[in-house]
Amino acid sequence: MNLRGIRTDLAGACSGREFTPYDVLPASSPELPAAVVGWPDIIQFNATHAGGARLTLGITLYFSRADDEAAQERLDDVLSGGLINDIARRTSPHWVAIDVPRLQNIETRAAGGAELLTAELVVELITTP
Query: pLDDT tens across 25-58, in order?
Result: 677 777 888 899 999 988 888 766 566 789 999 9
| pTM, two decimal places | 0.85
Q: Quick one: average pLDDT of 73-88?
A: 84
Q: What is the domain count for the chain? A: 1
**Does some domain include residue 52?**
yes
Distance CA 66, CA 68 (A): 6
Res 71: pLDDT: 75
**Does some domain include residue 96?**
yes
Query: How confident is the model over 94-120, as pLDDT tens digits?
Result: 999 999 999 899 888 877 677 888 899
Q: Which helix (H) or strand (E) holds 7?
A: helix 3-15
User: Which structural domain range is residue 36 located in?
Assistant: 3-23+30-105
Nearest residue to 34 (alpha-carbon basis) of 47, 17, 51, 46: 17
**Does some domain include residue 80?**
yes
**Does some domain include residue 110?**
no
**Does some domain include residue 121?**
no
